[in-house]
Amino acid sequence: MITPNRIPAHLSPDVGPWPDDLWTKELAAAARDAETLLDAVQLERTDLPYPIDTAAQFQLLAPPSFIARMGRGNTNDPLLKQVLPTLQEQQVSAGFMRDPLAETDPDRGFIKAPSLLQKYQNRALLITTPGCAINCRYCFRREFPYTEHRPKNHQEALTAIAADQSISEIILSGGDPLLLSDSQLPQLLSNIESIPHVQRIRIHSRIPIVLPERLTQTLMDTLTNRRCQIVMVVHSNHPQELNDTTARALNCLKQSGVTLLNQSVLLRDINDDVGTLVQLSEKLFTQGVLPYYLHLTDHVAGTEHFFVADEEAKEIYAQVQHRLPGYLLPKLVRELPGEASKTLLA
């Protein structure tokens, strides 16, 4: 139950954190097959423009709170399209690969220790958990060999970070690091903070958007008053993903002193238009989040139907730029193998 005396005084209980034991139940209640999801949004298979891929290896996963924000009876819903596996994923074209970024190619040397990936100077990425609270069809990590980076024990990774004085920021990634339990997460943060040259811990998580119930008082306590500054980069692609529930979750993070940024992926027929992107930035800001990156999708096999070509992306972006103040304009980027940072496209 919510314990009202622990909620900041200016907040009423329904805008404070959720009870500790709710999020795991919500996750257990997530849709894991198309039948359940289509039922919930009042659609029949025969309504769909593309057949469902019932044998998809990368399983359907969508939590109730996210499904609640989908339109009813709308095959074209921008949230539905992000999670429903269709046979479009079977298309294979030249140039689309399983691992276009070659992140785990040993020759590239990005893997510094099991679960530790470093591509850029001064910051390194720690793979904390294989799973997410949602499976996004366009995900570039869908083929990631998580089993070789079993995050159970980050000892070697922590030793490698401690040995490299140049690393000032650790990025917790996954999967989704907020799937770590309320005992695992503080332990990991403390272990990282025990390395003196680490100044910032950045958490990349889609959970405040898709499973807002994860924002418990215990999590808030974990994030509050740490030695390192905590930055959270959430992931929202469409203004329809943001409602009172996400506002409540994001406010909990604000109350915990976390700096909030957002990254989006530019997705064909989902958010590849000026109005949607402008509205997304403005709505993010009303919920206390600054836009950070707008990513172009990588050439990942099975995600081609989401792909927006560079020229088109730049045109959309130029118009978005005209309509937004500079601080609400995300950076348009793509990740190219072998570059020292993300590549700015505009």
Ligand X SMILES: *Cc1c(COP(=O)(O)O)cnc(C)c1O
Binding site for ligand X (CB under 6 A): 117, 119-120, 123, 125, 171, 341-342
How many residues sit close enough to ligand SF4 to count as binding (CB under 6 A)?
9
Q: Which does 134 bind (CB under 5 to 8 A by kind): ligand SF4, ligand X, none?
A: ligand SF4
Spatial distance between the Cα atoms of 21 and 119, rounded to a whole number of angstroms: 37
| φ/ψ bin of 242: left (φ > 0), alpha (ψ from -120 to 50), beta (otherwise) | beta
Tell the smallest beta-carbon distance from residue 234 to ligand SF4 (Å): 10
Structure-token match 């770590």, residue found: 180
Instruction: Specify the residue, 101 or 301, whose C-beta has the smaller distance to ligand X.
Output: 101
Interactions with ligand SF4, residue window 226-245 (CB under 6 A): 235
Q: Which does 206 bind (CB under 5 to 8 A by kind): ligand SF4, ligand X, none?
A: ligand SF4
* Binding flag, residue 134, ligand SF4 (CB under 6 A): yes
Beta-bridge mates of residue 263: 235, 293
Instruction: Specify the residue, 16 or 63, whose C-beta has the smaller distance to ligand SF4.
Output: 63
* Binding flag, residue 149, ligand SF4 (CB under 6 A): no
Per-residue burial over 201-225, b if 16 or more Cβ lie within 10 Å, else e, is bbbbbbbbbbbbbbbbbbbbebbee
* Binding flag, residue 141, ligand SF4 (CB under 6 A): yes
Decide: 295 and 333 in contact? Cβ < 8 Å.
Answer: yes
| Segment interacting with ligand SF4, rule: CB under 6 A, options 116-124, 127-135, 147-155, 276-284 | 127-135
Tell the smallest beta-carbon distance from residue 135 to ligand SF4 (Å): 5
Q: Which does 139 bind (CB under 5 to 8 A by kind): ligand SF4, ligand X, none?
A: ligand SF4
Q: Which does 120 bind (CB under 5 to 8 A by kind): ligand X, ligand SF4, none?
A: ligand X
The Cα-based distances of 220 to 187, 227, 230, 231, 265 in angstroms read 15, 15, 12, 13, 28
Spatial distance between the Cα atoms of 37 and 63, rounded to a whole number of angstroms: 10
Q: Which does 125 bind (CB under 5 to 8 A by kind): ligand X, ligand SF4, none?
A: ligand X
* Cα-only R_g, the chain: 20
Instruction: Specify the residue, 82 or 255, whose C-beta has the smaller distance to ligand SF4.
Output: 82
Tell the smallest beta-carbon distance from residue 120 to ligand X (Å): 5
| Segment interacting with ligand SF4, rule: CB under 6 A, options 62-70, 84-92, 131-139, 190-198 | 131-139
Instruction: Specify the residue, 171 or 249, whose C-beta has the smaller distance to ligand X.
Output: 171
Tell the smallest beta-carbon distance from residue 227 to ligand SF4 (Å): 27
Q: Which does 69 bind (CB under 5 to 8 A by kind): ligand X, ligand SF4, none?
A: none
Q: Which does 132 bind (CB under 5 to 8 A by kind): ligand X, ligand SF4, none?
A: ligand SF4
Tell the smallest beta-carbon distance from residue 150 to ligand SF4 (Å): 17
Contacting residue, 81, 112, 149, 206, with ligand SF4 by CB under 6 A? 206
Question: Which residues form the interface with ligand SF4 (CB under 6 A)?
Answer: 132, 134-136, 139, 141, 176, 206, 235
